[in-house]
A and B are shown apart, each in its own frame.
Chain A
Amino acid sequence: MAFHGYEEVEHTADVALRVWSEDFPGLLSQAAKGLYELTDIDSDTNSTVNRCFFIPSGNYENEIVDFLNELLFFLEEKSEIYRKFSFFERQDKLEVHAEGCKALSQDRYIKAVTFHDLNIEESDLGLEVVITFDV
């Protein structure tokens, strides 16, 4: 198994991803990559977008769901996808700096990120989680 990555997990009606990484920021970045792959996006690689947003601090499960839901919102409302992330712990929130490009079209719509059976577990490689998305 690579040090970090993601793979699709079979689900009868929706879609799910297994994501792993050595640390939590890495887990967030890998989950974002997986999410964008699931949505099957055609992007304008000549464009550049930057965005800063905040996630309320809490447990890791809440933070990963909030983070991915933010990405879905910016994809739907601003047609933006992000490839590079920087994370900064603030007093009661996680500050996210995201850099990416404009999305031109997408083939699959993801309604939301769910909490279904969501447990971030520690393994020899770091952290691992299965995330189920409603489509």
Chain B
Amino acid sequence: MGDTRRFSFGHASSSSIFASQALLQESLKDKSIEQAVNASSLPGLVEAVMVMPDMHQGYGFPIGGVAATDPETGVISPGGIGYDINCGVRLMSSRIMLDEVEGWLPDLADALNRYCPSGVGVASDLKLSKEELADACVKGSRWAIGKGFASEEDIEYTEGKGCLAGADPDKVSQRAMERGRNQLGTLGGGNHFIEVDLITDVFDENAARVMGLYRGDLAVQIHTGSRGFGHQICTDYVRRLQSAVNKFGIKLPDKQLVCAPISSAEGQDYIGAMRCGANYAFLNRQLLADKVRQAFESVLAGKVDYWQLKQVYDIAHNIGKFEEHLVQGESKTVCVHRKGATRAFGPYSEDLPDKYQEIGQPVLVPGSMGTSSWVLTGTETSMKRSFGSSCHGAGRVMSRSQAKRRVWGEDLIKQLAQDGIEVRAGSLPGLAEESPQAYKNVDMVVESVVGAGIAKKVAVLRPIVVIKG
């Protein structure tokens, strides 16, 4: 079950790993733990760098890493947040039973594929002016309200209400603005997906009921981020901060860990730009959610009584945020970097909607394609042990080239069809890279975080329609 190991290799801080013995053994096969140790050299860490059980090798930071720094003495690191700023997951519930729509699933898959632009180089039907994009970056999800793409309920059930305050479009490069203008409302490629799921198991009836999740009903997950806009922001600042580390005399074991003091002009500029990327991603998932609803309406209206989709929650897993946490027994504002880790606030935390005050924040943990996903909740223990953070997915164990050598995209589609999963994919090699064999067992990841007390099980979702870019 869940265990915490502490490693220290003479750096300024140390690393704590949440993992079962088996997952820890798996993680020792790549550089994820070495990367966690490297990340512990960042100046101003208030506690150990935490690593979640879905950890795997990234670049600079490990995927699954959580690092909290002191706003006065610490740094902000773009690499600790990632290129896909605010990559995250949205979950929507329905009262649609599987047997009501089973015959319509191929049509639903086609409609989702048609309504939701996906794949490499696919542009949005929305092309914003520079001024409109700057406005969208400041408002986040709320930008969609005035345009009819969102409801107040959607905003209420999004982390931070879909907007980080303090976004500053003036700190975003022209190139990032150019890349961002026609990508809002697009899924992208890689591991991003839209999934229709069947709720197969409920472990916490009360929490599931509060979220509107019932066994036998369908739900929808959307996994995407800030697209080329966020990638460019991170690229710009990782490059710019290469010289900042020299200016501030910061010594790092890896150039990708570049950072700047939070209080410096360089640090503040990155924070202003990063928040634009985060708000863009919240809005991107909101616009996709609107397209998913249109797809459901186009296929199911008139065929089932209730085809509507209600927002359960939208959560980031690549982000940097200033939050209040207990540090050595005292409440303190810290800058929490989450890179492939999900916020998992416990009951009665700030920023939780009233509805979730008693059960804690919904934590969305997608599995690999074709395997189950989990809905969890944050706990009091996650607030004490992991800066209110938990795992974000299954975590890779196999490289992309290995996966492509072992799996053919066509064979995978047939296999998934035999398992009752309709797949629409823009790229067969890309699909092979994302095959379930390339990932850890998400159930083992969940058992680890539940065993460590940093999350509680609520429900299990099994995919029945998968849209991949």
User: Using a CB–CB distance below 8 Å, which chain A residues touch chain B?
Assistant: 8, 10-15, 40, 61-62, 65-66, 69, 73, 76-77, 79, 105-109, 111-118, 132, 134-135
CB distance from B326 to the nearest CB of A (A): 32
Bound complex: CA of A112 vs CA of B430, how far in Å? 17
For A134, what are the chain B residues with a Cβ–Cβ distance below 8 Å? Answer: 59, 82-84, 231
Residue among A12, A105, A107, A114 with the highest chain B CB neighbour number at 10 A: A12
Which of the four size classes fits the interface of chain B? 35 or more
Closest B residue to A75 by beta carbon equals: B121
A109, B239: Cβ atoms under 8 Å?
Answer: no
B401, A8: Cβ atoms under 8 Å?
Answer: yes
For this complex, 25 residue pairs linking A to B, each with C-beta atoms less than 8 Å apart, are A10-B402, A11-B399, A12-B32, A12-B57, A12-B397, A13-B57, A13-B396, A62-B239, A62-B242, A66-B239, A73-B232, A105-B120, A105-B121, A106-B121, A108-B189, A108-B427, A111-B84, A111-B190, A114-B79, A114-B256, A115-B242, A115-B255, A116-B58, A132-B256, A135-B400
B107 located at the interface, meaning its Cβ lies under 8 Å from any Cβ of chain A in the complex: no
Residue from A15, A109, A116, A118 in contact with B401 in the complex, judged by beta carbons closer than 8 Å: A15
Bound complex: CA of A109 vs CA of B225, how far in Å? 14
Closest A residue to B231 by beta carbon equals: A111
A107, B430: Cβ atoms under 8 Å?
Answer: yes
From known contacts A61-B255, A114-B59, A116-B255, infer whether A107 and B427 are also in contact, taking CB-CB under 8 Å.
Answer: yes
CB distance from B406 to the nearest CB of A (A): 13
Bound complex: CA of A135 vs CA of B82, how far in Å? 11
From known contacts A12-B397, A13-B396, A40-B429, infer whether A108 and B120 are also in contact, taking CB-CB under 8 Å.
Answer: yes
Closest A residue to B84 by beta carbon equals: A111
A13, B63: Cβ atoms under 8 Å?
Answer: yes
Bound complex: CA of A76 vs CA of B121, how far in Å? 6
CB distance from B255 to the nearest CB of A (A): 4
For B32, what are the chain A residues with a Cβ–Cβ distance below 8 Å? Answer: 12
Closest A residue to B192 by beta carbon equals: A109
Residue among B120, B254, B401, B429 with the highest chain A CB neighbour number at 10 A: B120
B178 located at the interface, meaning its Cβ lies under 8 Å from any Cβ of chain A in the complex: yes
CB distance from A14 to the nearest CB of B (A): 6
CB distance from B341 to the nearest CB of A (A): 14
Closest A residue to B235 by beta carbon equals: A112
CB distance from A32 to the nearest CB of B (A): 17
Bound complex: CA of A113 vs CA of B235, how far in Å? 8
For A12, what are the chain B residues with a Cβ–Cβ distance below 8 Å? Answer: 30, 32, 56-57, 396-399
B11 located at the interface, meaning its Cβ lies under 8 Å from any Cβ of chain A in the complex: no
Residue from A13, A108, A118 in contact with B430 in the complex, judged by beta carbons closer than 8 Å: A108
Closest A residue to B57 by beta carbon equals: A12
**B 100-136 binary contact with A (CB < 8 Å = 1; else 0):** 0000000000000000000011000000000000000
CB distance from B253 to the nearest CB of A (A): 9
B258 located at the interface, meaning its Cβ lies under 8 Å from any Cβ of chain A in the complex: yes
CB distance from A10 to the nearest CB of B (A): 5
B43 located at the interface, meaning its Cβ lies under 8 Å from any Cβ of chain A in the complex: no
Bound complex: CA of A40 vs CA of B433, how far in Å? 13
Q: Give the tally of cross-chain contacts (CB within 8 A).
A: 107
B239, A117: Cβ atoms under 8 Å?
Answer: no
For B242, what are the chain A residues with a Cβ–Cβ distance below 8 Å? Answer: 62, 115
For A14, what are the chain B residues with a Cβ–Cβ distance below 8 Å? Answer: 58-59, 400
Residue among A8, A14, A112 with the highest chain B CB neighbour number at 10 A: A112
Bound complex: CA of A102 vs CA of B175, how far in Å? 21
A111, B179: Cβ atoms under 8 Å?
Answer: no
B238 located at the interface, meaning its Cβ lies under 8 Å from any Cβ of chain A in the complex: yes
Residue from B56, B120, B399 in contact with A106 in the complex, judged by beta carbons closer than 8 Å: B120
Bound complex: CA of A115 vs CA of B255, how far in Å? 5
B234 located at the interface, meaning its Cβ lies under 8 Å from any Cβ of chain A in the complex: yes
Bound complex: CA of A13 vs CA of B179, how far in Å? 24
Bound complex: CA of A67 vs CA of B239, how far in Å? 12
For A111, what are the chain B residues with a Cβ–Cβ distance below 8 Å? Answer: 83-84, 190, 231
Which of B425-460 touch A at CB < 8 Å? 427, 429-430, 433
For A116, what are the chain B residues with a Cβ–Cβ distance below 8 Å? Answer: 58-60, 254-256
For A113, what are the chain B residues with a Cβ–Cβ distance below 8 Å? Answer: 235
Bound complex: CA of A115 vs CA of B223, how far in Å? 26
B258, A115: Cβ atoms under 8 Å?
Answer: yes
B190, A109: Cβ atoms under 8 Å?
Answer: yes
A115, B256: Cβ atoms under 8 Å?
Answer: yes
Which of B77-110 touch A at CB < 8 Å? 79, 82-84
B228 located at the interface, meaning its Cβ lies under 8 Å from any Cβ of chain A in the complex: yes
B60, A109: Cβ atoms under 8 Å?
Answer: no
B188 located at the interface, meaning its Cβ lies under 8 Å from any Cβ of chain A in the complex: yes
Bound complex: CA of A85 vs CA of B84, how far in Å? 30
Known contacts A115-B258, A116-B256; 10 further A-B pairs (Cβ under 8 A): A12-B57, A12-B396, A12-B398, A13-B63, A13-B396, A61-B255, A69-B239, A113-B235, A114-B79, A115-B242
CB distance from A73 to the nearest CB of B (A): 7
Bound complex: CA of A10 vs CA of B255, how far in Å? 20
A107, B429: Cβ atoms under 8 Å?
Answer: yes
From known contacts A79-B121, A106-B121, A112-B231, infer whether A135 and B58 are also in contact, taking CB-CB under 8 Å.
Answer: no
Bound complex: CA of A61 vs CA of B398, how far in Å? 28
B59, A135: Cβ atoms under 8 Å?
Answer: no
CB distance from B133 to the nearest CB of A (A): 15
For B63, what are the chain A residues with a Cβ–Cβ distance below 8 Å? Answer: 13
B83, A112: Cβ atoms under 8 Å?
Answer: yes
From known contacts A77-B178, A105-B121, infer whether A115 and B228 are also in contact, taking CB-CB under 8 Å.
Answer: no
For B59, what are the chain A residues with a Cβ–Cβ distance below 8 Å? Answer: 14, 114-116, 132, 134
